[in-house]
Chain A
Amino acid sequence: DQQVKQNSPSLSVQEGRISILNCDYTNSMFDYFLWYKKYPAEGPTFLISISSIKDKNEDGRFTVFLNKSAKHLSLHIVPSQPGDSAVYFCAAQDDKIIFGKGTRLHILP
């Protein structure tokens, strides 16, 4: 039973445009949400997070939006750059952190 779902296995976006990665969760007790980026053969790297008491958090080109009523969060990257090509994992925390299966983002030249 997946508590964190990323329904898009992959996404292709033109360089310079906005990338939007989506994530849904089922457990309303999650109080913290995170996004990680992963390159092949490396461990995941922390990108940005948001507390459940907020609906938006911004850090440079990255913004995370949280819609608690819909149990949905999204990561916006603008403008998208070639180095953003990677797998992005959505994660949610109660005691431990639970990850989605990831979305592979391809930034097209």
Chain B
Amino acid sequence: DTGVSQDPRHKITKRGQNVTFRCDPISEHNRLYWYRQTLGQGPEFLTYFQNEAQLEKSRLLSDRFSAERPKGSFSTLEIQRTEQGDSAMYLCASSLGQGAAGNTIYFGEGSWLTVV
């Protein structure tokens, strides 16, 4: 399977704990995005990378959230001191990032986070 893969698919954690999600994009895709989705809402932009450079981070993202893409391939999203409001599906997506076809982003299956 050469699509976007995310790990873990489900995570249940106690409030105050740290969690980390991993995303492996489609190979040769330069851009990698993180989104969050809650019930009844569309995917909400969190941050994105062009290769290893983090180009934009949502103003809505608190400083408890950090993302990295150290070698321009896989990415991690860490949430520190989790709160119940962090419970959501965290979606990773990737795109070529250039040309007309590069505008289309392809999503992974998502990582469900439940904070109890």
Contacts and interface: CB of A to CB of B under 8 A. Distances in A.
A72 interface: no
A41 B35 CA distance: 15
Interface string B38-54: 00111111001000000
B103 A96 contact: no
A101 B39 CA distance: 10
The size bracket of the interface on A is 20 to 34
B55 A95 contact: yes
A91 B43 CA distance: 10
A101 B56 contact: no
In the complex, which of the residues B44, B104, B109 has the most CB atoms of chain A within 10 Å of its own CB atom?
Answer: B104
A49 B103 contact: yes
B25 interface: no
B91 A96 contact: no
Contacts of B48: 95-96
Interface string A38-54: 00011111100101000
A42 to B, nearest CB: 6
Given A97-B33, A99-B42, A99-B43, A43 B55 contact: no
A45 B104 CA distance: 11
Contact of B108 (A43, A51, A91, A93): A43
Interface of A: 4, 6, 32, 34, 36, 41-46, 49, 51, 89, 91, 93, 95-102
